[in-house]
C-alpha cells in the first residue's frame, strides 16, 4: 500500500518504520528536517508539504500531538482534506476529545472524506513493533479501508462501531488509567526518597509484587535515569488528563482520582518540569531533607 504518515514525532516515526519493514511504500511529512532525514535513511519518501505526501496515497495516518495540530494538518490551507484521493482513508491517531473528532468528521463529510477515529496505545515500542492497541470507530466503508493498515500497526485492533468519537472516548479512559498509574509511581518514588530508601531497590520489590503495572515496568527504569530521552512528557499528561476531566464534565460524571492526578502533573509543569519525561513526576515533590 501507499501510506502517508503526517507527523513524524516519536510515535509517527516508529509507526512509519514498522510499515516500511512490512513492505509498504511510506511517505512522510513533518515540519522538522531531522525527522524527514531520518525517514529517508529508513527507506521512506520524505515530503516538505502535506500535498506531496498525501497525493496518491491509499491511506493517510495522522500522528500529530493535539487537536490544534490536527485542525492545522487536516483542514488548514494545503491540508490533508484538500489533497486526499477520494478512494483513500484518513486515519486519525492523535489523542483528542470525542467532541472534537466528531466535529472534524462533520466538517469533512461534505467533501466525501473517509475518516476513522483511531487513537492508539502501546508507546514507541508498540508502534515500532506493530503491536499497538488500536481503539477505532467510524463509518463502515472507512473502517473497511482502514483495517488493513490498522492491522499492520497494531496486534489488538478494537472496532467500537460507526460513531466517530467512540474510539477517542475509549482512549480518554485509557489515559485516565495511565495518568493515575504514573502519578502514583511518582508519589511512591518521592515518598521512598524522603524515607531514605534506594528507589532502585524499591522498584525491584514493587515490580515483582502486587503493586506492579505496565506503567511501572515501562517507566520505572526511566524514572531513575538522570535525563532519559522523552517520548511522553509531563506536559502531555497535563493535556491528556484535562481531556479526561472534560469528558467527565460533559457527562456530568465525578472523577476525583483523575482530578488529583491532573493536579500533580500541573504541579510538575508549574515548577518547570513540564518538558521532562513523564516518569520524572517525582521531581515535582519536595526533595529529601
Q: Could you give the residue numbers annotated as active site?
A: 171
Are 189 and 282 contacting, i.e. CB atoms less than 8 angstroms apart?
Answer: yes
DSSP conformational letter for 91? E
Cα(168)–Cα(255) distance, integer angstroms: 18
Alpha-carbon distance of 149 to 165, in angstroms, equals: 19
Compute how many other C-beta atoms are within 10 angstroms of the C-beta atom of residue 20: 19
Residues with Cβ within 8 Å of 177's Cβ and at least 6 positions away in sequence, in order, are none
User: How many degrees, rounded to 5, is the angle at CA 2 between CA 100 and CA 69?
Assistant: 25
Long-range contact pairs involving 283-289 (C-beta distance under 8 Å, separation at least 24) = 284/186, 284/190, 284/234, 285/186, 285/187, 285/190, 285/194, 286/190, 286/194, 287/193, 288/193, 288/194, 288/196, 289/194
Distance in angstroms (rounded) separating the CA atoms of residues 83 and 116: 17
Helix (H, G, I), strand (E, B) or coil at 84: coil
SS3 29: strand
Amino acid at each position: 500500500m501507499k501510506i502517508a504518515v503526517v507527523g513524524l514525532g516519536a510515535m509517527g516515526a516508529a509507526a512509519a518504520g514498522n510499515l516500511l519493514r512490512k513492505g509498504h511504500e511510506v511517505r512522510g511529512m513533518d515540519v522538522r528536517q531531522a525527522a524527514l532525514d531520518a525517514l529517508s535513511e529508513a527507506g521512506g519518501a520524505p515530503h516538505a508539504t502535506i500535498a506531496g505526501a498525501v497525493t496518491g496515497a491509499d491511506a493517510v495516518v495522522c500522528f500529530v500531538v493535539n487537536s490544534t495540530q490536527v485542525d492545522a494538518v487536516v483542514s488548514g490551507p494545503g491540508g490533508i482534506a484538500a489533497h486526499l484521493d477520494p478512494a483513500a482513508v484518513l486515519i486519525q491517531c492523535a489523542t483528542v476529545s470525542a467532541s472534537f473528532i466528531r466535529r472534524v468528521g462533520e466538517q469533512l463529510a461534505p467533501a466525501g472524506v473517509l475518516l476513522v477515529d483511531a487513537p492508539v496505545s502501546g508507546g514507541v515500542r508498540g508502534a515500532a513493533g506493530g503491536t499497538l492497541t488500536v481503539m477505532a470507530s467510524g463509518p463502515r466503508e472507512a473502517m473497511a479501508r482502514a483495517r488493513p493498515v490498522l492491522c499492520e500497526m497494531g496486534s489488538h485492533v478494537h472496532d467500537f462501531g460507526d460513531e466517530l468519537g467512540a474510539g477517542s472516548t475509549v482512549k480518554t479512559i485509557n489515559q485516565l488509567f495511565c495518568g493515575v498509574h504514573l502519578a502514583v509511581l511518582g508519589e511512591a518514588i518521592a515518598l521512598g526518597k524522603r524515607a531514605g530508601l534506594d528507589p532502585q531497590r524499591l522498584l525491584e520489590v514493587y515490580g515483582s509484587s502486587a503493586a506492579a503495572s505496565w506503567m511501572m515496568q515501562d517507566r520505572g527504569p526511566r524514572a531513575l535515569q538522570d535525563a532519559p530521552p522523552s517520548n511522553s512528557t509531563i506536559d502531555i499528561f497535563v493535556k491528556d488528563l484535562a481531556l479526561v476531566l472534560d469528558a467527565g464534565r460533559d457527562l456530568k460524571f465525578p472523577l476525583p482520582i483523575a482530578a488529583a492526578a491532573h493536579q500533580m502533573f500541573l504541579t510538575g509543569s508549574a515548577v518547570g518540569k513540564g518538558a521532562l519525561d513523564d516518569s520524572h513526576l517525582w521531581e515535582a515533590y519536595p526533595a529529601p531533607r
